[in-house]
Structure 1
Amino acid sequence: MDTKKLRQKILDLAIHGKLVPQDPNDEPASVLLERIRAEKERLIKEGKIKRSRKTAKTSDTPHYEQDMPFEVPKGWMWTTLEEITSKIGSGSTPKGSNYSEGGIPFFRSQNVYNEGLVYEDIKFISDATHQLMIGTEVHSKDLLLNITGGSLGRCAIVPADFQIGNVSQHVCIIRSILVLSSYVHTFILSPFFKKTMNITGSGREGLPKYNLEKMFLPIPPLKEQERIIKEIEHWFTFIDTIEQSKVNLQTAIKQTKSKILDLAIHGELVPQDPSDEPASELLKRINPKAQITCDNEHSEKLPQGWCTCRLKDISIIITGSTPSKSNPNYYGGDVPFYKPADLDAGRFLEKSMEHVSEAGKKISRVVPMGSTAVCCIGSIGKVGYLTQEGITNQQINSAIPSEAVNSLFLYYTCASPSFYNELQLLSSAVTISIINKSKMENIKVSLPPLLEQKCIVKKIEELFTVLDTIEQSLQA
Structure 2
Amino acid sequence: MNGKQLKNSILQWAIQGKLVPQDPNDEPASVLLERIRAEKARLVKEKKIKKDKNESIIYRSEDNSYYEKFLATGEVKCIDEEIPFEIPQGWEWERWGNIALSIQYGYNAPALERGDIKMVRISDIHDNVVQWENVPFCNIEACDIDTYLLKENDILFARTGGTVGKSFLVQSVPEPAIYAGYLIRTRYSQELCPQYLKVFMESQLYWEQLKSGTIATAQPNCNGKTLGRMLLPIPPKAEQSRLVQKLTSLTPMFQRYAKAQQDLDNLNESIDDKLKKSILQEAIQGKLVPQIAEEGTAGELLEQIKQEKLHLVKKGKLKKSALVDSVIYKSDDNKYFEKNENTEMDITDEIPFEIPDSWSWVRLNDICSYIQRGKSPKYSLIKKYPVVAQKCNQWSGFSIDKAQFIDPDTLSSYSEERILQNGDLMWNSTGLGTLGRMAIYWQTLNPYELAVADSHVTIIRAMKKFVLPQYLYYYFTSNTVQSVIEEKSDGSTKQKELATATVKNFLVPIPPQMEQSRIISKIKQLASIMRG
Task: Return the offset for 1:413.
Answer: 1.0
Distance (whole Å) between structure 2 residues aligned to residue 171 and residue 355 of structure 1: 38
Task: Return the offset for 1:61.
Answer: 3.3
Residue 466 of structure 1 corresponds to 529
2:26 and 2:238 in contact (8 A); partners too: yes
Distance (whole Å) between structure 2 residues aligned to residue 180 and residue 194 of structure 1: 20
- Change in 2 beyond 3 A, CA 1:204/1:454: closer
Distance (whole Å) between structure 1 residues aligned to residue 362 and residue 28 of structure 2: 81
Query: Which SS does the other structure have where 1:53 is aligned?
Result: coil
Query: After superposition, where does 1:327-338 map in structure 2 within 5 Å?
Result: 328=382, 331=384, 338=388
2:381 and 2:405 in contact (8 A); partners too: no
Task: Return the offset for 1:174.
Answer: 2.8
Structure with higher Rg: it is: 2
Distance (whole Å) between structure 1 residues aligned to residue 510 and residue 132 of structure 2: 50
Q: 2:168 aligns with which of 107, 132, 156?
A: 156
Cα deviation 1:264-323 (Å, max 9, x = unaligned)? 334444466789766466546634633456648314842343554432232232334587
Residue 363 of structure 2 corresponds to 310
Distance (whole Å) between structure 1 residues aligned to residue 389 and residue 474 of structure 2: 20
- Change in 2 beyond 3 A, CA 1:436/1:227: farther
Distance (whole Å) between structure 2 residues aligned to residue 121 and residue 130 of structure 1: 23
1:104 and 1:130 in contact (8 A); partners too: no
1:75 and 1:220 in contact (8 A); partners too: yes
Show structure 2 runs of 5+ residues with no match. 69-77, 307-322, 336-347, 445-449
- Change in 2 beyond 3 A, CA 1:182/1:324: same
Whether 1:421 and 2:483 are equivalent positions in the alignment is yes
Distance (whole Å) between structure 2 residues aligned to residue 313 and residue 162 of structure 1: 73
Query: Which SS does the other structure have where 2:393 is aligned?
Result: helix
1:58 and 1:77 in contact (8 A); partners too: no
Residue 374 of structure 1 corresponds to 427
Residue 122 of structure 2 corresponds to 109
Residue 76 of structure 1 corresponds to 91
Cα deviation 1:435-462 (Å, max 9, x = unaligned)? 3433322333344455554443333222
Distance (whole Å) between structure 1 residues aligned to residue 138 and residue 186 of structure 2: 24
Deviates more, 1:149-158 or 1:361-370: 361-370
Q: 2:280 aligns with which of 251, 261, 266?
A: 261
Distance (whole Å) between structure 2 residues aligned to residue 290 and residue 161 of structure 1: 77
Read off the aligned partner of 1:52 and give its amino acid letter.
K
Q: What percent of counterpart residues are identical?
A: 25
Whether 1:31 and 2:31 are equivalent positions in the alignment is yes
1:29 and 1:221 in contact (8 A); partners too: yes
Whether 1:60 and 2:59 are equivalent positions in the alignment is yes
1:284 and 1:290 in contact (8 A); partners too: no
Residue 289 of structure 1 corresponds to 324
- Change in 2 beyond 3 A, CA 1:65/1:88: closer
Residue 474 of structure 1 corresponds to none
Deviates more, 1:130-139 or 1:453-462: 130-139
Distance (whole Å) between structure 1 residues aligned to residue 234 and residue 105 of structure 2: 24
Task: Return the offset for 1:37.
Answer: 5.9
Show structure 1 runs of 5+ residues with no match. 470-476
Read off the aligned partner of 1:225 and give its amino acid letter.
Q
Distance (whole Å) between structure 2 residues aligned to residue 455 and residue 83 of structure 1: 69
Whether 1:183 and 2:196 are equivalent positions in the alignment is yes
Whether 1:144 and 2:156 are equivalent positions in the alignment is yes
- Change in 2 beyond 3 A, CA 1:282/1:216: closer
Deviates more, 1:139-148 or 1:338-347: 338-347
- Change in 2 beyond 3 A, CA 1:227/1:399: farther
Query: Which SS does the other structure have where 2:164 is aligned?
Result: coil
- Change in 2 beyond 3 A, CA 1:396/1:226: farther
Whether 1:319 and 2:373 are equivalent positions in the alignment is yes
Deviates more, 1:10-19 or 1:261-270: 10-19
Deviates more, 1:384-393 or 1:252-261: 384-393
Q: How many residues align?
A: 457
Distance (whole Å) between structure 1 residues aligned to residue 87 and residue 148 of structure 2: 34
1:372 and 1:386 in contact (8 A); partners too: yes
2:105 and 2:184 in contact (8 A); partners too: yes
Task: Return the offset for 1:227.
Answer: 5.7
Read off the aligned partner of 2:120 and give its amino acid letter.
F
Query: Which SS does the other structure have where 1:50 is aligned?
Result: coil
Cα RMSD, aligned residues only? 4.9
Query: After superposition, where does 1:327-366 map in structure 2 within 5 Å?
Result: 328=382, 331=384, 338-344=388-394, 346-347=396-397, 349=398, 363=414, 365-366=418-419
1:60 and 1:76 in contact (8 A); partners too: no
Query: Which SS does the other structure have where 2:440 is aligned?
Result: strand
Distance (whole Å) between structure 1 residues aligned to residue 199 and residue 40 of structure 2: 23
**Which TM-score applies when normalising by structure 2?**
0.67
2:149 and 2:179 in contact (8 A); partners too: yes
Task: Return the offset for 1:412.
Answer: 0.2
Distance (whole Å) between structure 1 residues aligned to residue 217 and residue 361 of structure 2: 62
Task: Return the offset for 1:169.
Answer: 1.3
Distance (whole Å) between structure 2 residues aligned to residue 121 and residue 381 of structure 1: 44
Residue 472 of structure 1 corresponds to none
- Change in 2 beyond 3 A, CA 1:242/1:405: same
Whether 1:89 and 2:104 are equivalent positions in the alignment is yes
- Change in 2 beyond 3 A, CA 1:28/1:104: same
Query: Which SS does the other structure have where 1:445 is aligned?
Result: strand
1:79 and 1:218 in contact (8 A); partners too: yes
Task: Return the offset for 1:367.
Answer: 3.0
Q: 2:462 aligns with which of 384, 401, 407?
A: 401
